[in-house]
Amino acid sequence: MNEYIQTAEESLIHAYNRFQIVLEKGEGTYLYDINGKKYLDFTAGIAVFALGYGNKEYNDALKEQIDKLIHTSNLFYTVPMAEASAKVIKASGMDKVFFTNSGAEAIEGAIKVARKYTYLKGQKNRYEIIAMNHSFHGRSTGALALTGKGAYREPFGPLMPGVKFANYNDLENVKAFVNDNTCAIILEPVQGEGGIYPATLEFVEGVRKLCDEKDIVLIFDEIQCGMGRCGSMYAFQDLGVEPDVLTTAKALGCGVPVGAFLTNRKVSGVLQAGDHGTTYGGNPLVCAAVSKVFDLFEQENMIEHVKEVTPYLESKLDGLVEKYDIIKERRGKGFMQGLEFTIPVADIINKAMDAGVIVISAGPNVIRFVPPLIIQKEQIDEMIEILNETLKLI
């Protein structure tokens, strides 16, 4: 294992502080390293592998498409593209979709939609965007400009101008930043990297009303909280507040690199031929994956399963809050939960991994739980038992 790690570090740019294990395979909700050690996975590749590992129908769909056609570019139509686009529109209730290679690229597209919307109205100076403090939208320069953590932005400035940061779940603070140059407001219905904070209904409804009154484009980033993770296909559907632009990725393809931005009728006609593009985006392979993901979500009643098991997960995490003084609170929605600690959590996470369960952080003091959506109560019990034994050592 050390040899593989050393070989990788000799070649890779050190942009990640990786866990010191080498993973080889996955099965269901478990991962295995090259020494055969088994880990219960409550991370799902950072909220990606919703279907778990080794789903035969998903794997077969990809294998079949590989033998047919992997790539053609967007100069042509393909059957997987047509099928995937229809399914994501049906599931989201939005009007149009553009497939990207990642969540960050979906954010870049959303920015372009918002800015061109006001450009077409002859308002060329109306380019400012209000984002939220503690938000995370990606590492590309446009997405980074919208990310509400100064430490992430500062080494790469100056970034895209015209971005202001308001306080999440504080409608009056958002209103204070709105002016005649505001073209868009972007928020996550559940903040992920920011510490697992769900938006309140009052806040989201207020922002929607504000955008309607001022003709501002409302963007929801559901790259992490979407695709069933919060108990509805997209979190905005449970809130009953529709965005003008929706970004999605991660579990959209359950492992293949694919994202998308979706538009409602208000902004669907904004981008025209030549305004945006991507060589790989929406190619036959990733669209075959997307199409099969939606089929399996329906076939396996995935949304209903999340709703059914969520109270059990929440109650078990609440039990840890009651038991340990170093845990301040639990918060989250569906299978996107966080425990906030009074101490840094890095050591807890490392000890838990040594004991056989994989969790990650959401900021220095929060442990994040974003398991595969197929997780069952017995796996929750197993995770809680391991975490409980780990916390006894802290």
CA-closest candidate to residue 110, choices 97, 93, 92: 97
CATH of the domain at 115: 3.40.640.10
Give the burial string for 212-242 (b: 16+ CB within 10 Å, else e): eeeebbbbbbbbbbbbbbbbbbbbbbbbebb
CA-closest candidate to residue 80, choices 89, 90, 91, 69: 69
* CA R_g for the chain: 21
| Domain region containing 154 | 95-276
Does any domain span residue 122? yes
**Phi/psi-derived region of residue 186, left when phi > 0, alpha when psi is between -120 and 50, beta in every other case:** beta
Q: Is 360 helix (H, G, I), strand (E, B) or coil?
A: strand
Does any domain span residue 25? no
At 115-136, the pLDDT tens digits run 999 999 999 999 999 999 999 9
Does any domain span residue 152? yes
Residue ranges of the alpha helices (H) in 93-196? 103-120, 141-145, 150-153, 171-177
Q: Which letter does DSSP use for residue 362 in this model?
A: S
Q: Is 279 helix (H, G, I), strand (E, B) or coil?
A: coil
At 11-20, the pLDDT tens digits run 999 999 999 9
List the structure tokens of 388: 């409980």
Rounded to an integer, what distance in angstroms lies between the CA atom of residue 99 and that of residue 225?
18
CA-closest candidate to residue 88, choices 73, 77, 100: 100
Q: In what order do the strands lie in the sheet with 217-221?
A: 96-100, 259-263, 245-248, 217-221, 182-187, 128-132, 163-166
Rounded to an integer, what distance in angstroms lies between the CA atom of residue 93 and that of residue 88?
8
Does any domain span residue 201? yes
CA-closest candidate to residue 293, choices 359, 227, 239: 227
Alpha carbon separation from 183 to 122, 197, 219, 261 (Å, rounded): 12, 25, 11, 17
Q: Which residue has the tokens 């971005």?
A: 163
Q: Identify residue 23 by its one-letter amino acid code.
A: L
Beta strand 30-33 with 23-27 is antiparallel
Does any domain span residue 200? yes
Rounded to an integer, what distance in angstroms lies between the CA atom of residue 281 and that of residue 27?
28
Q: What is the pLDDT of residue 10?
A: 96
Does any domain span residue 26? no
Q: What is the pLDDT of residue 259?
A: 98
List the structure tokens of 228: 């069933």
Specify the number of domains making up the chain.
1
Rounded to an integer, what distance in angstroms lies between the CA atom of residue 59 and that of residue 130?
41
Give the global pTM. 0.97
Q: What is the pLDDT of residue 360?
A: 98
DSSP state string for 155-170: GG-S--SSEEEE-TT-
Q: What is the pLDDT of residue 123?
A: 95
Print pLDDT tens along the chain (394 aa): 999 999 999 999 999 999 999 999 999 999 999 999 999 999 999 999 999 999 999 999 999 999 999 999 999 999 999 999 999 999 999 999 999 999 999 999 999 999 999 999 999 999 999 999 999 999 999 999 999 999 999 999 999 999 999 999 999 999 999 999 999 999 999 999 999 999 999 999 999 999 999 999 999 999 999 999 999 999 999 999 999 999 999 999 999 999 999 999 999 999 999 999 999 999 999 999 999 999 999 999 999 999 999 999 999 999 999 999 999 999 999 999 999 999 999 999 999 999 999 999 999 999 999 999 999 999 999 999 999 999 999 8
Rounded to an integer, what distance in angstroms lies between the CA atom of residue 221 and that of residue 186?
7
Does any domain span residue 204? yes
